Structure 1
């Protein structure tokens, strides 16, 4: 069995919970939204056969508490958190990075700010809707979700959010059908809903990537989207970014959370993409 270590890393304004599994080149997996590092549990074992896999709870989520009261998130600070983890685990070596949803936005900002520290970024469905031709409509949706949270609470906002993003169509088992440890993880992540809707939703969805900077490092970026979510809002921005940097979108199994619903096929494709850098 591959050994996992559980660690803490102090960063400005927070303490990050992170876990390290396996050996080999560092592969940082960045969770999005209200989730935490546990969302990748089903793919870690397979990936850890060839990589030092690092998962973590983004600041303010689950086991990564803020030092003080929650404040609106900054994407640049989120990218610096990712860099701090790469430094802590890999020293001076560049890392492979996979980010999903707002975790992919963190990855885009990381490679923009520190391109020399990223060997390859697989950016899976970043909701950077500012790059879309109908950006105003998309922004209005997220503003509506935020207003719904303020008026009606997290669970009502979560239903609106999931429906608008196609997440209610993901082929996920009901919480009561999950094994106890996974049910506990789902409950842990749902407890992040208040912080997410109050302080993270709008800062991340308002993020507009520096497309000129991304074109400069296009050889290191793999745009990615789920086969079942390509027409939904979270997947549309990566198609626009892919056009800008001159690469096609790689289609992963499943939808927005394919790493959880189709873990073996998802991890297999991710490994093949990373190996293309190692061999070429």
Structure 2
């Protein structure tokens, strides 16, 4: 994989109701927002560097994670709250409307933003949103999530992550699993993980999009699906949303986190999709 040069990023913070958001800006040109949940700004930095050659790229730590601190650490992070955060950030940097690329929980945030503030977005690329509420077996899926959360809160964090990977149907060799989830964590990483399990995971997967609202803006919505995600849970949720709003999934390199694993392959595909 080719190593790309780092584009200088301006870091700042924005006070929003209930939180102080850390955000980063790179480059110049039309605004692109890259957002995850719980994934923070650092995970998007390599992709942001590649896009910043001809775009202004905004990345952020979602509320409750890393540098984005909550006034009340027990407040749940809902898609509606995170969408409001994004709306305030886009207005604050005064470079919109924006292309918004959201991954996983960030894809749910991006869809909630499109519903609430369609004037702030030109295109939403929702990459593998885990909208379990759209599935026929949602009751069983929610029960698995509740069991996973209970396992984590009982102190078995690796057991919880094993249940997460099993539910997502993502196959990971044991050495890779240990590399990703094992070992010591920095205090901020531990806090972020704990917050996600306790206050963010359940509100995200339970969120139901307004199908009629999204259907009216379907021409501006791209549903991203990794070529390596065949048979995984998020393939089911992407296809369920696509059927509900009349949008065919668009394939991207890699799997659920393809933009992290190989940003040099992901960025040209994203540019191609946006041009189309």
Give the TM-score taking structure 1 as reference length: 0.88
Which among 36, 43, 51 is matched to residue 39 of structure 1?
43
- How big is the shift at 1:20? 0.4
Preserved CA contact (<8 Å) 1:175 1:186: no
- Matched residue of 1:28: which SS? strand
**Which whole-Å deviations, capped at 9, do the CAs of 1:144-173 have from their partners, x for residues lacking one?**
111212223434322321332244539x96
223 and 185 in structure 1: CA distance in 2 versus 1, 3 angstrom threshold = farther
Q: Deviations over 1:65-116 (max 9, x none)?
A: 112332222221110001111111135x311000001100001110011111
**What is the CA deviation profile of residues 258-279 of structure 1, one whole-angstrom value per residue up to 9, with x for unaligned ones?**
0111211111111112223xxx
Partner of 1:124: 127
Q: Distance in 2 between matches of 1:195 and 1:168?
A: 25
Q: Among residues 127, 150, 153, which one is paired with 1:150 in the alignment? A: 153
1:180 corresponds in structure 2 to none
Per the alignment, residue 237 of structure 2 pairs with: 237
Gaps of at least 5 residues in structure 1 are 178-182
Q: Which residue of 2 aligns with 1:165?
A: 168
Query: Is residue 2:18 matched to residue 1:13?
Result: yes
Distance 2:221 2:275 in 1: 14
In the alignment, does 2:108 pair up with 1:105?
yes
Q: Assess, with a 3 A threshold, how the Cα gap between structure 1 residues 187 and 265 changes in structure 2: closer, same or farther.
A: farther
Q: What are the ranges of 5 or more consecutive residues in structure 2 without an aligned counterpart?
A: 1-5
Aligned counterparts of 1:121 and 1:56: Cα–Cα separation in 2: 17
Partner of 2:3: none
Deviation at 1:32, TM superposition (A): 2.0
Mean Cα deviation higher: 112-121 or 223-232: 223-232
Query: Matched residues in 2 for 1:25 and 1:185: separation?
Result: 37
What is the distance in 1 between the residues matched to 2:215 and 2:135? 17
CA contact (8 A) 2:64 2:73 kept: no
1:48–1:167 distance in 2 versus 1, CA, 3 Å:
farther
- The residue number in structure 1 matching 2:138 is 135
Alignment of 1:215-230 (within 5 A): 215-230=215-230
Name the TM-score, length of structure 2 as normaliser.
Answer: 0.89
- Kindly tell me the number of residue pairs found equivalent between the two proteins: 269
Given that 2:169 and 2:231 are in contact with CA atoms closer than 8 Å, whether structure 1 keeps it comes out as no
Residue equivalent to 1:267 = 267
Within a 5 Å distance, the mapping from 1:41-80 to structure 2 comes to: 41-80=45-84
For 1:270 and 1:97, the matched residues in 2 are separated by 11
SS at match of 1:192: helix
SS of 1:203's partner is helix
Instruction: State the Cα distance separating 1:63 from its structure 2 match.
Output: 0.8
8 Å CA contact 1:125–1:236 kept in 2: the answer is no
Asked if structure 2 preserves the Cα contact closer than 8 Å seen for 1:227 and 1:251, the reply is yes
Distance 1:37 1:108 in 2: 19
- Decide whether the 8 Å contact of 1:154 with 1:194 is kept in 2: no
Rounded Cα–Cα distance in structure 2 between residues aligned with 1:12 and 1:83: 12
